[in-house]
Structure formats: C-alpha cells, structure tokens
Structure 1
Amino acid sequence: MINHEFGKTTEKHLRGVHKDLSDVMRKALKLSPVDFGISEGLRNQKRQLELLASGKSLTSKSRHLTGHAVDIFAVINGSVSWEFKHYQTIATAVFKAAKDLSVDVEWGGDWTEIKDGVHFQLSRKMYPE
C-alpha cells in the first residue's frame, strides 16, 4: 500500500526546493504505482564537489545548488530498490504530474552521458538560474 504523502524526512529534503518541483513530486507520488521518497534536494557547493570528486556527478554546477533538482529513491515492499525499471515507472508519473501542472521537468534517466535514474530537475529553458 502506497502512502500518498511524503514522510517527515522527505519533506525535510524538499526544504529549499523550488515550489513547482516540490508540487510535481507530491502529485507524482499520488500517481505512481511505485512508492518513492526524496533522498536529496537543495545541496551546498561542498557536497556537490564531493559528489564530483567521487564520480557520482559530472558537474560542479548542479541544479541541486539552486533548488531546481531532486534525487529520489524507490521503495519496493518496504525496502529501497535501485532497479532502473522502478525509476522508469516513477518517471512516467513525474512527467504526467508535470504536464498536469504545466511544469517543464527533465529526467536524468533520459541522459546519454550518464543514466541518472534518481535525478529530476526543472528545465533550464523554463527555469533559468
């Protein structure tokens, strides 16, 4: 059974995230057959540089730094899963929610350089820095 509201930890991780992206993620949770939470939203430069150095990010100019991105985790039968198929299912719900709310969202799972299935961000076109 999916809880259609985020828990306290996810809500804490949404602090500082652009309202439009937070709204999309909350609506997507209601639409998604796969439960998920937010593992990271707004990020400071020190954290970004740590992720860059460890190879977990390809940029020092992440949309996380401005509150324009979130990373999620899928919950399957009460446990976190990193299987890409679950993130594809969640992405479908995120894109539907974004369309319903007229918000332009991009998914890291669509990228060619690195498949970042946990990453969603507001487009630079609609939401410049």
Structure 2
Amino acid sequence: MAFVLGAQSRAKLKGVKPELVAVVERAIQITGTNFRITEGLRSVTRQKELFAAGASETMNSRHLTGHAVDVVALVNCNVRWDWPLYPKIAAAFKQASKELATPIVWGGDWPRLRDGPHFELDRKRYP
C-alpha cells in the first residue's frame, strides 16, 4: 500500500531544504509504515521552548536551518510512538537517501539520546 503526505505534513515541510524534502517524498512512497511530519523548520523561539522543556538538548538544532525533520508513525490513522515502528520508517528514509544520493542521519542511530522520529541531512555534505 502506498502512502501519501497530507496537507499538514506538506505545510511542515515549508522551509526545509529541497534535498531533504525529496527524501521525505520518496520515503512516503516506499514505506510500509505510514508517517506524518511533525516538525520541519523551527524558529529560534520554538527551539528555546523545546530546550527549556527538556525536549531538546541543543540550541544548535538542524531544524533551525531547515536541515531536519521529525516524523510520527501512523497506524490506522492513529499516532503511535512505539519504538519498533521507527526503524521501519528509517529503512524507507535510508533507501530513499541512497536512491537520491542524498546522505542523511537518523536520530535512532545515535549512540546517546536516540531520537527515532528525527532525520537530518548529513553535516559532512550539508554543513
């Protein structure tokens, strides 16, 4: 079953680097687990709120420059945060990244503070 990005997800992609948008668009076509974009480009004010709330550990987020997106898994149109869904979504992002020759980093691969919903353009190629 092919999924599509809804209007809310597309709105959240405004300001996100086109290379990452292309990866997201390809990933939604090939994923076996539906997802929605929850965050794309963030304002400094929003980042300060997340930092103050402990939801982010940095004020140097890739979201501030449009180099990152966060997703949420959807199962039968319901938001789901269970960890096993996120490696499945990540597999689609990684396949899309490879197909498009656009290197990404998945927050779920980080050794500390694993962040399953987070995807960003690789700093090595997109500083």
TM-score between the two structures when normalised by the length of structure 2? 0.97
TM-score between the two structures when normalised by the length of structure 1? 0.95
Task: Tell me the SS of whatever aligns to 2:108.
Answer: helix
| Superposed displacement of residue 108, structure 1 | 0.6
One-letter amino acid matched to 1:24 = V
The aligned residue for residue 16 of structure 1 is: 15
* % identity of equivalent residues: 45
One-letter amino acid matched to 2:79 = V
Deviations 1:13-56 (A, max 9, x none): 00000000000011001110000010010001111111111111
Unaligned runs of 5+ in 1: none
Which of structure 1's runs of 4+ aligned residues deviate more than 3 A? none
The aligned residue for residue 98 of structure 1 is: 97
The aligned residue for residue 51 of structure 1 is: 50
Task: Tell me the SS of whatever aligns to 2:84.
Answer: helix
Distance 1:5 1:19 in 2: 18
Task: Tell me the SS of whatever aligns to 1:60.
Answer: coil
The aligned residue for residue 29 of structure 1 is: 28
The aligned residue for residue 118 of structure 1 is: 117
The aligned residue for residue 88 of structure 2 is: 89
Q: What RMSD over aligned residues (CA atoms) do the two structures have, in Å? A: 0.9
Indicate yes or no: 2:65 matched with 1:66: yes
Task: Tell me the SS of whatever aligns to 2:74.
Answer: strand
| Superposed displacement of residue 113, structure 1 | 1.9
Unaligned runs of 5+ in 2: none
- The aligned length equals 127
Distance 1:112 1:51 in 2: 21
| Superposed displacement of residue 111, structure 1 | 1.0
Distance 1:90 1:48 in 2: 25
One-letter amino acid matched to 2:121 = L
Task: Tell me the SS of whatever aligns to 1:84.
Answer: coil
